[in-house]
Structure formats: structure tokens, C-alpha cells
Amino acid sequence: MKINKVKVKELMESKGIKTQTELASILGISKNQLSVILSEKYKPIKASVEDLCMVLEVTPAYIMDIGYMQQSLFDSSVELPIDADAITAVELFAGAGGLALGLENAGIHTVEFVEIDKYCCETLYKNRPHWNIVNADVSTRDFSKYKGKIDIVTGGFPCQAFSYAGKKMGFDDTRGTLFYEFARCVKDVEPLIFMAENVRGLKSHDNGRTLETIINVLTDLGYTVKYEVLNAAYYNVGQKRERIVIVGTKAGVTFSFPKPNRKMATLQEALEGCPLSEGQSYSQRKKDVLDLVPPGGSWVDLPEDVQKEYMGKSYYSGGGKRGMARRISWNEPCLTLTCSPSQKQTERCHPDETRPFTVREYARIQSFPDDWEFCGGIGEKYKQIGNAVPVKLAEKIGLQLADAISNYRKSVTDIAEVESYELREAI
């Protein structure tokens, strides 16, 4: 990290501080000392910086450029205080914050977010500068400092095949995969609960062997493991987004998956009052084709000659493909958002206008609040949103996780009180 000198200069001007000499005088330091603070090599989390921020009336987050050079926002050698009364978590593969924000809304305090993508980290930091965000390869992180101190480990590791050497694989056999890193974190931290999110296809990946291995490895770590496929549209999200949620609990901890609503949320509910924002557009050729598709329709509604020309070889492959040339209707959930809004195989056209959904509409469909900002270019923004866990689905899961921890703590307290009472009676 380094101090953003441009922002410091802007703030100086807004405060009527004309020179660095004047600023140094207000801080009670020499001009040379101030120059050191503003230099490239200076480590900013020091008392002098706190004084600087007090004078300029801003937080350290505002004037810092985060290089995210494989390090924590804070000095990773310093153990951050953990509130023993709070329900706490560590999150891996944090992305743009969909899961993180949902768990925050559920009252869960996450003490560390690990994410390798710099744009995702900038997004997280932009919205929550007080979070402990670590831009790093998860394999480089040491989680042992959290052993016995954290209630929950969460994360959405990518779906990867394992190299099977035998009939049943153990923890060490999964080394080299991102699932291994998730399992390693669970092993080192020993949380009361872990929760992993993944694509629905994990159920059938490698003929089911991938999921079977994951469950076996996590069970061997001392957890009762169960999973369900949840459709976000039944949890106040205007999108048919199915995800497998895997939860493991220690002995004495009881977790129940959130109950779905009776009806799906619709696109109209998701986009009501959505603010204007930037967005991609279709090529003229694609626009001409999609102009022919009604709301709720797809390639099957096109004239046959247009179908053949637009779909190419896909036209003759037979079956399915209703995502191609797809225009969403207002009274249905959107189909699952992808990382790009205008891919040929996964068009998600606006109901009334022949265009992809804007960045803000994308975010609304993923149930992000309008004040959650995304960093990077427009392509990076779509990618971050498309990869995210829907916030409202994450919140529903988070409430169940929080209930499980609260109920466990209450049961432990009740048992302790009974034992204390029995001991007093015996005396």
C-alpha cells in the first residue's frame, strides 16, 4: 500500500492548506518526515498517518492506493482482535462481495476475505474499507492463527476434477486443487460450521465422483456433511440461478437449509426503479435478430431461415439451447447471468429494449444494493457480478448459519448451567 499523493493534494486544497511545509507544520513534523510518509516505500499504517487523516478529516482508506501485492490490507503478522461474542467467519474466494454482503446482513462478522483477483479486491475495498481484504493466492495463506477462534469458514471454490489414483481419495490426495485449499482452511481453523457454494453441475461432475470425494474428505475432517441445490429465484432473487450449497457441522451443531418461498421472484420485481448506468450493446447483426424475438422468447420464435443463419451448426445439433437469442420477460425470473451479457449461447436481452442488461441491472438481478460499486472496466464489472453469489440468497443462508451457531452456544451454556447446579447440589 501507499499514500495516494493526488488525493492528499486535493484534500489539502479543500482544507486551504497550500504547501506540504504548512501541512507538516500542522502535523508537528518536519517537511522531510512528511516526504517520507508520502514516498513509494513508506508503510502507511503508522501513527503519523493517523494524525494526517485526523487533520484532513478522512479515513486512511480514502487516501491509500492499495497495490494488493499478495498481502493483507493490514500487516498479516499482526493478529486482529476477534470479538468472542460475535458470530465470526473467514471467507475464501470472496469475489465481488455477494456472499460477504449477504452474511454481513445476517449479522456475521467476517475477519478475513481472501481473493486473488485485484479488481474484486478493489471492489470490496471501495465498499467496505474497514474489511480485512487479502489479495493473495489462497495457497499462500496461513489460517492456523484462527484455530478454535472462528465459527464459520465459507467460500465458493471452482469445480475441478481430481486425479484419481485409487477408489477413495483422502485430504492429501486433493492437493493442487482449490478445493484442497478450502479443506486445508477448514482443517486448520476447525470452525463449528463450514459452507461451500458451487455450480449445480458439481453434482454430476466426473459422473458424481468429484462431489463424492469432496464429501468424503470433509467428513474425514470431523464434520457431518450435507448439501442441497438452491434456486435463488425462490429466495427473493429475480433470477433462476441454481447453486449447490455444501454445509458441514461439528458434533452438537444443527443446521437447516433456508426454506424457499412459494413463488419465484420476477425480473420486474428485481429491476423496479433501477438507476441508469453504463452497459454493453449488441452488434447490429445481433440486434436485427433479437428485434424479432418477443419477451419470453428465444431462437425458436425466429423465422427458420434466420434460425439457420444465426445459429449455424447449433441449429442441427438438436434439443435445448433455449438460452440462445433469449429475450427475458418481465413476469419471469431472469435466466442465470453469465460473466458476459452478450455471448451468443447465453443472451439475456432486456424485455422492452433490444440490448443487454446494464451493469446496474446486472447487479440488481444479483440482488446487490444500488450503492454497491464495482471497480475496473465494464467487462470486469460484468464478470464480477456474473460470478457473484446473489446477496439475498447469501443472506438467507447466513441467517441459518447464525441461528445454528447461536443455538449451539445456548445449548453449551445450558449444559454448563445444569452441570454447575448439579455440582452445587452435590456439595
Whole-angstrom Cα distance, residue 298 to residue 283? 17
Q: Which residues contact 87 (CB under 8 A, 6 or more apart)?
A: 107, 108, 109, 151, 152, 401, 402, 405, 406
C-alpha cell at 55: 487533520
Q: Report how far apart the first and last C-alpha atoms of the chain are (Å, whole number).
A: 61
Would residue 159 show up in a list of annotated catalytic residues for this protein? yes
Compute CA distances 239 → 80, 183, 295, 334, whole Å: 38, 30, 15, 4
Counting DSSP H helices and E strands in the chain, the numbers are 16, 11
Which residue among the candidates 159, 334, 349, 375 is catalytic per the annotation? 159
Whole-angstrom Cα distance, residue 35 to residue 48? 12
The three-state secondary structure class of 307 is: helix
Q: Of 55, 49, 5, which Cα lies nearest the Cα of 25?
A: 55
The three-state secondary structure class of 23 is: helix
Question: b vs e for 126-140, b when ≥16 Cβ sit within 10 Å of the residue's Cβ?
Answer: ebbeebbbbbbebee
Segment 174-182 long-range contacts (CB within 8 Å, at least 24 positions apart): 174/213, 174/217, 178/93, 178/138, 179/214, 179/217, 181/92, 181/138, 181/139, 181/157, 182/92, 182/93, 182/138, 182/153, 182/155, 182/157
Count CB-CB contacts under 10 A for residue 276: 8
- Is 313 exposed, middle or buried, given 0-12, 13-18 or 19+ CB atoms closer than 10 A? exposed
133-135/108-115 β-pairing: parallel
Strands of 130-273, DSSP E: 133-135, 152-155, 193-199, 224-231, 239-240, 242-249
Q: Catalytic positions, please?
A: 159
